[in-house]
Structures are given as structure tokens and as C-alpha cells.
Amino acid sequence: MSKQEIEEILAFYHNSSTQDLARRADTVCRMNYGNAVYLRGLIEFSNHCHSDCLYCGIRKSNDKVVRYRMSKEEILDAVRMGKDCGLKSFVLQSGEDSFYTCDLLCDIIQAIKEITQGQAAVTLSCGIRSKQQYAQWKAVGADRYLMRFETSDPDLHERLRHGISLKRRLQALEDLKECGYELGSGYMVGLPGETEEMRVNNALLCHKLQLDMVGIGPFIPNQDTPLAGQGGGSIEMTIRAVSLVRLLLPKANIPATTAAGSIDPQGREKILQAGANVLMPNITPVLQKKNYLLYPDKICLDEDGLKCLNCLKYRVLSINKSISLERGDSLGIGMKNGLCE
């Protein structure tokens, strides 16, 4: 994409109504993915976290959280259930929890590959680790890694992530790319102190990183964090952000996030009509998922994975799209070309 094309997209973004922006992003999305919506089974396997991000409900200073860790067998049971429903893509997400050593995660990745006869994609989302660990997980079969940069503004990043620099986060993304992962990142919209300029820069950073996957959700203030009582992101802001990223990265896999579905009952449908092509049903066992509360009023806490899958099928049909049970690998070229200036 040339500089001029990017300028043209930004001008369109600034001068268009949300409806027109979403319509154009939807057209671009359908050109690449047709009506397909890919599914990723999300397993939130630990809510222990040694980080203390100001926005996050499972930050280490929140002593109201009932902490849990799923055993290898519990994780594999969730995968088996997902596999029986036809899922071919699993996301293992946790807080930053060193209880899961490099070897333990290697073990779990290998077992998932065995259970799914090598047919399923394994995505990790467990925070910053060493490059060596990313490489070992890749060597035993991990395919993808998700790590949002959260905000592209260095000062805001450092403030909200309790001293961790944006530079360190971007280094981790670079390490992951060099290890050969399909790379996902993204950000929240509506963080306290965020400006429209920062939101545009967030989208431009996704383009610069040539991401294969981009997760964008509204910030939802959590009452048990230092950001209690602050305003959150709106569905409109989220739609505009997703649409802009779809125009800048026509081939990226972009989920309609649970956070978007949590601030608006039709949130995920709206985002799927504004450039998104992925849903992430939460297949964490019901007993545990109610304790993975990054933000309040999270949806699907009482529903098991099967119920969510059925629900999503109808939601997707209602907007003239349909669920695809394919792996939904990246169509992007990011990994091969490296950073884009």
C-alpha cells in the first residue's frame, strides 16, 4: 500500500459518517472473506498475573479476584469439547503467569496437536516472555501469538501499564515475528487520556507492523481497578476503529470482540458488518470463566461453549454471514515482508 493510498484512506475516515465508513470496510472484508466468519475457541487458562495494568480486572493488586489455574488435563478437555464441535483453532490466553513454564506449555501445545491430529491451529496469548521461549513453543507446533500493544502512545502506555514501556511491548512483537508466528496485536478504544489522534496512530501502527490479526475492543472501566469511575469506549468508536483497520489491512483476520458484545447487545453483529470476520467463542469451563473478569458485565459467563456456538450461529445468520469451521489462516503477507515503512 502506497503512502498516497494510506492518505486517501485517512481522508475518507475523517470525512465519512460511521455508516459510510463501515459500509466500505464491510465491502473490503467481503471481497477477501466473502460471508465467512471464522471461529477461534478461547480458553482462559489462568487468571494469575504478575502485571499490574491500571485498566485490567485481573491485575496483581486486585485482591478481590478468586484466582485459578487450569491443569493440563482441564485445558485438553476444553480442546476435546471444542474439537467435537468442529473447531479448528484454539486460543490459549492467560495473565502473565510464570507457573506455566516453557516446558509445561510445550507439553500442552504438543498434546493439543495430537488430539486434533495436527489439524487445529494453536494460538498463544500469555504475555511477554523471552524470545527463546517463543521459539521453543513455535518449534513444537504453536502457530500464532496474540499480544495487544494496547495504545500506541508511549506516555499513556507507560502510565496505564504501570511502568512497562511501549518499546518493550513492540520488541516482544518483533521477537514473535522473527520466530515465524502469525502475529496478532491490537488495542482498546476510549482509554482515559486517549485522543482522536492517538486512535488514528493506533490503526497506523497496526499497518506498520503488518499484523495478521488485529483485536480491537472498547475500554470498559472496572470498579476494582484504579480506573474505576472513568468513562469507557463507545460502540461507535469501536466501529470506526475496526473499519479503519480493515481498510488499512484488507487481508487481516479481525475479530468482533467480546468487549464489543458486552457494551451493546448487538455489538458483535455491528462490528461484523464493519470489517470484522472472526468470532472467539469462550470455551473456558463455566466454573472458571466467571473469574476471568478483565472488565465488568462480560457476556456469556453462564453459557458453556456449546451454547455460545449455537448462539453465534444465529447471530451470524442474522447479518447474512455464515460460520466457517476452517482454520482461517492469515491471508496477509506480514510475516514474509517484515515491517512496512
- Please give the grid coordinates belonging to residue 124: 498463544
Angle formed by the axes of helices 18-33 and 3-15, nearest 10°: 140
Is 124:137 a contact under the CB 8 Å cutoff?
Answer: yes
Residue 259's binding partner out of ligand 5AD, ligand FES, none, with CB under 5 to 8 Å set by partner kind: ligand 5AD
Residue with the three cell numbers 470484522: 276
Q: By CB under 6 A, tell whether 14 contacts ligand FES.
A: no
Binding ligand FES (rule: CB under 6 A), the pick from 111, 164, 311, 319 is 311
Q: By CB under 6 A, tell whether 105 contacts ligand FES.
A: no
Q: How far is residue 214's CA from residue 183's CA, in Å, rounded to a whole number?
A: 9
Q: Which residues contact 60 (CB under 8 A, 6 or more apart)?
A: 49, 50, 51, 52
The CB-of-294 to ligand 5AD minimum distance in angstroms stands at 4
Q: By CB under 6 A, tell whether 303 contacts ligand FES.
A: yes
Binding ligand 5AD (rule: CB under 6 A), the pick from 97, 143, 150, 269 is 150
Binding mask 233-262 for ligand 5AD (x = CB under 6 A): --------------------------x---
- Kind of pairing between the strands at 213-218 and 278-279: unpaired
Residue 220's binding partner out of ligand 5AD, ligand FES, none, with CB under 5 to 8 Å set by partner kind: ligand 5AD
Q: By CB under 6 A, tell whether 300 contacts ligand FES.
A: yes
Q: By CB under 6 A, tell whether 170 contacts ligand 5AD.
A: no
Q: What does the radius of gyration of the chain's CA atoms come to, in whole angstroms?
A: 18
Q: Which residues contact 88 (CB under 8 A, 6 or more apart)?
A: 116, 119, 120, 121, 325, 326, 327
Give residues in contact with ligand FES (CB under 6 A).
Answer: 300, 303, 307-308, 311-312
Give residues in contact with ligand 5AD (CB under 6 A).
Answer: 55-56, 148, 150, 188, 217, 219-220, 222, 259, 294-295
